[in-house]
Chains A and B, each alone.
Chain A
Amino acid sequence: DIQMTQSPSSLSASVGDRVTITCRASQNIISYLNWYQHKPGTAPKVLIYAAYTLQSGVSTRFSASGSGTEFTLTISSLQPEDFATYYCQQSHSFPQTFGQGTKLEIK
């Protein structure tokens, strides 16, 4: 299985901050990388698919880049509604796998 490793595992930040989350794959996954936002009691929501494509309706505060084995998700100016857990997920190889999550908390 392809292992997906996110860093950091948790992050404290303030409203207005710019934050970056990194996701590393144990093998080359080209651009088959997605990012999800998950808030307690709700279903996860896709933010970015295919490495850098912003899902329709998602704020342009979110952006992503990367290919191969290293990917990043950036939130340009944190808003209160952005505090959540973020997951990366690869769809290149069977079985699909997720990172362990990055919990973004208010400082």
Chain B
Amino acid sequence: SQKIEQNSEALNIQEGKTATLTCNYTNYSPAYLQWYRQDPGRGPVFLLLIRENEKEKRKERLKVTFDTTLKQSLFHITASQPADSATYLCALDPSGGSYIPTFGRGTSLIVHP
């Protein structure tokens, strides 16, 4: 069956460190993968999209990698801040162009001051 797996355990890190979140998928061949941020009781907010032919994408303190051989994406936040504390969701589109995004469960990040 098709699965998107994100670490269900919360990631606790110290302010200033780099946070690394993982998204693994099985039985998909997505053309791209997205990362969203969700705060408690709010809707997700789009952060980054990376295509299958891109190894790495950066936006300010954020970096995403995409390894289609390993079927894995890594999401990094450098110089993390307490304001980065949230749940981070990865999403991909298995529909081959109709755009029907499928989401992982998300990983909670807690940045301690």
Partners in one complex: no
Interface residues in chain B, defined as those with a beta carbon under 8 Å from any beta carbon in chain A: none
